[in-house]
Amino acid sequence: MQSTIKIDVTLDEKRMPESIAWSATESTMDAKRDARAMILGFWDGAEKTALRIDLWTKNMMVDEMTDFFYQTMMSMADTYERATKNKALVGDMKRFAQDFYKKFQEEQVKNNQVNP
């Protein structure tokens, strides 16, 4: 069996992403799904390097990017736990993600108090 994941990125005249849509052949979705950001990573075993494609659209808000990174870090920790069973490092990763998110929220509150 084979599954194909297709990602369509529409660019503006400055080659900045305007829209991102994706679909997968083995998905239960019938239509393409829109996204405002994506992080796609590959591991090159021969070169021992990580390769990434990070894209976000012009209409991605800072609070959305923060949520996206928080959720991505938490899911990466879950993936790492399934792969390694290393609960101690997973705990560290999740604490970092939680601290990151908490600091962003505190910053937002502080900025809203200064700039009502």
Domain range list for the chain? 1-59, 61-111
User: How many residues are listed for the chain in this entry?
Assistant: 116
By C-alpha distance, which of 52, 10, 17 is closest to 37?
A: 17
What are the backbone dihedrals phi and psi of residue 101, each rounded to the nearest 5 degrees, phi first?
A: -70, -40
Between residues 40 and 31, the one the model is more confident about: 40
Q: What is the pLDDT of residue 35?
A: 96
Task: Give the contacts of 35 (CB within 8 A, at least 6 positions apart).
Answer: 20, 21, 22
pLDDT of residue 113: 77
pTM of the complete model: 0.86
pLDDT digits (tens, 9 = 90+) for 38-61: 999 999 999 999 999 999 999 999
pLDDT surpassing 70 at residue 116: no
